[in-house]
Amino acid sequence: MPKLTINEMPVEVEEGTTILQAAKKIEINIPTLCYIQNFDPIGACRVCLVEVEGMRDPVASCSTPAAEGMKVHTNSQNARAARKMVVELLLSEHQGECQLCDRNEDCELQRLARDLGLKMIRYEGEKSRRIVDESTPALVRDSAKCIGCRRCVTACNQVQGIGSLFPQCRGFKTYIGPAFGNPLNSVTCVQCGQCAAICPVGAISEKDQIDDVWRVLDDPSKFVIVQTAPAIRAALGECFDYKPGTIVTGKMVTALRKIGFDAVFDTNFAADLTIIEEGTELLTRLKKLLVDKDKDVALPMFTSCSPGWINYAEAFFPDILPNLSTCKSPQQMFGAIAKTYYAEKIGRKPEDIVVVSVMPCTAKKYEAQRPEMFSSGYQDVDIVLTTRELGRMIRQAGLEFDQLEDGVMDSPLGVSSGAADIFGNTGGVMEAALRTVYEIVTGQEFPFPKLHVTPIAGLEGVKEASVKIETTVPEWAFLKGVEVKVAVAHGLGNAKKLIEKIQAGKAVYHFIEVMCCPGGCIGGGGQPRQTNDEVRTARISALYREDEGKKLRKSHENPDIKKLYEEFLKKPLGEKSHQLLHTHYHAKEKV
């Protein structure tokens, strides 16, 4: 247990603790840039330099272990000068164009320059070379803004296990990106946007579609409706300096109405619909196995709400594509229903309806333009904004977010259950499905306290639970005595571990939820920056609170969903459902 002093304050830490961690323990803040929670430091950016007595040069506190008797100074003349110099050098090659950058006032480099009191950049020289990559529907990369911190490399390689981003070349020519500086669409990228979510500057961002939305809002011939995903309401507040985990559903609805949308709806409605379809699909697969003794039935069944996960499965695990639920994601179910059922209801032609979604996700931008997503005869979802884009759009509209009154979603595509709220967090889709499937099969109340299946909640990478079916209604008698085994994974690295375990025959499940991003959609690539485990936990508990605050907690009890089946779809997995709500997948080459 080394004892040391930092800024004359004594501190004792465990062997292997870094100076940065030791300082944090006694509430001394050292600025960092390349450092990310839960991963080994790489010491690339040198922003965390501190002075250690007896050492010739300042050291990177993120990667220097604290040692017995060390005397560390984080705010000495030398330490401050060294950090200033590092940031000055970073800025000397950075082509930030701050006023035009979507990270303006939300940029870690900008903040560092301000906090360190940088007054001028003394070095004039070559700037980073500019390659702007707009090759994917989801992301834009600008190498001239990249400062080479490699956080995105960690997110892409270690968190998600994709590896589309990697340092190329060397020295001043170092370029963070796909092979040989080629565009992102030349390699396998699932478009999850975890790189964009973790980038400290404006080098990787979502493809901004705000102007496309303004354009349709300005067009009087268009009827523009908006849907918002469950995870938005738990994070949008952060764009306006609310604490992570503040629920802002009401203000968000009012903001959307004031921006000029003709109707404000909820993706949650479609989440409830997803549960009905997906739950029925699971039961149908179980029936095939247990009653028809069909050994080829594809089980375990995997959820299919997360487009990054779908992209991943298509490229990395094409063998399991039959195991993916054929259900479209709630975003796409919403679009298909809006341009058919709803269009009919309000007497508008589908071609005049524009569906805008607000998603925590960059991969949703890709999903919306997949060729399978034109079931209404038109592109079912026209424009996808991320949470961050909605935040910017609210500012562009001149709205004072914190002054807005609470509004309520419109009917009929705006009513939803608490089960739909928790679609936004890891374990939530599974819990929502279990609430419904259990009650359909047993006819009994879901037996978990507060309806929560706690073993599958929280930030553990892979989680599992089982539910024993003791009694059943006559229709599902074959499930009597069956123990339904489920698993949940979030983050693709964890999904990979889980799939490999199943493929090795080391585990057997019936139903598996996978969300592409760590923490689930609340930690999505389109959410306000920065997301760490504290922020994830706060957003997750916000969604559970939202769920618990509702009278309606189960998808199958949603009255507007019942009406949708009565008036239009007729029955789950019926002909109309197949046409509008289900899809299929294609194996893709992995590069």
Partner 1 sequence: MKDGKCACEENVSESELFERLDKVLLDYHDKPGGLIPILQYAQAIFGYLPENVLKYISTKLNKSYSEVAGVVSFYSFFSTHPRGKYLIRVCLGTACYVRGGKEILDAVKKELKIDVGETTQDRLFSLEVGRCFGACGLAPVMLVNENVHRRAKPSKIAEILSAYKGGTGDEQ
Question: Does the active-site annotation cover 156?
Answer: no
Distance of CA 426 to the CA centre of its chain: 10
Question: Does the active-site annotation cover 51?
Answer: no
**Rounded to the nearest whole angstrom, what is the least distance from the CB of residue 146 to partner 1 in the complex?**
15
Contact 436, 429 (CB under 8 A): no
Contact 539, 234 (CB under 8 A): yes
Nearer to partner 1, 308 or 520 (CB): 308
Question: Does the active-site annotation cover 367?
Answer: yes
| Beta-bridge partners for 133 | 141
**Rounded to the nearest whole angstrom, what is the least distance from the CB of residue 492 to partner 1 in the complex?**
13
**Rounded to the nearest whole angstrom, what is the least distance from the CB of residue 203 to partner 1 in the complex?**
16
* Residue 178: closest CA among 588, 591, 516, 496: 591
**Rounded to the nearest whole angstrom, what is the least distance from the CB of residue 153 to partner 1 in the complex?**
9
Nearer to partner 1, 5 or 158 (CB): 158
Nearer to partner 1, 78 or 157 (CB): 157
Distance of CA 48 to the CA centre of its chain: 29
Q: Given 329, 513, 521, 555, which residue is catalytic?
A: 521
Question: Does the active-site annotation cover 304?
Answer: no
Question: Does the active-site annotation cover 548?
Answer: no
Question: Does the active-site annotation cover 305?
Answer: yes
Distance between CA atoms of 164 and 220, rounded to whole angstroms? 42
Q: Given 364, 365, 463, 554, which residue is catalytic?
A: 364
Please give the structure tokens belonging to residue 465.
Answer: 């639970």
Distance between CA atoms of 292 and 282, rounded to whole angstroms? 15
Distance between CA atoms of 80 and 50, rounded to whole angstroms? 8
Phi then psi for residue 211, to 5 deg, are -65, -35
Distance of CA 92 to the CA centre of its chain: 33
Contact 248, 542 (CB under 8 A): no
Q: Given 238, 277, 281, 389, which residue is catalytic?
A: 281
**Rounded to the nearest whole angstrom, what is the least distance from the CB of residue 447 to partner 1 in the complex?**
44
Q: Given 25, 71, 92, 372, which residue is catalytic?
A: 372
Distance between CA atoms of 332 and 128, rounded to whole angstroms? 40
Nearer to partner 1, 42 or 591 (CB): 591
Distances (CA, A) of 30 to 83, 84, 112, 411: 10, 13, 11, 50
Helix axes 330-337, 267-290, angle to 10 degrees: 110
Question: Does the active-site annotation cover 521?
Answer: yes
Nearer to partner 1, 165 or 313 (CB): 165
Q: Given 305, 361, 516, 517, which residue is catalytic?
A: 305
Nearer to partner 1, 162 or 514 (CB): 162
Binding site for partner 1 (CB under 8 A): 157, 162-170, 177-180, 187-188, 590-591
Distances (CA, A) of 50 to 13, 38, 70, 71, 517: 18, 22, 12, 10, 34
Q: Given 206, 277, 278, 431, which residue is catalytic?
A: 278
**Rounded to the nearest whole angstrom, what is the least distance from the CB of residue 152 to partner 1 in the complex?**
12
- List the catalytic residues: 278, 281, 305, 325, 364, 367, 372, 521
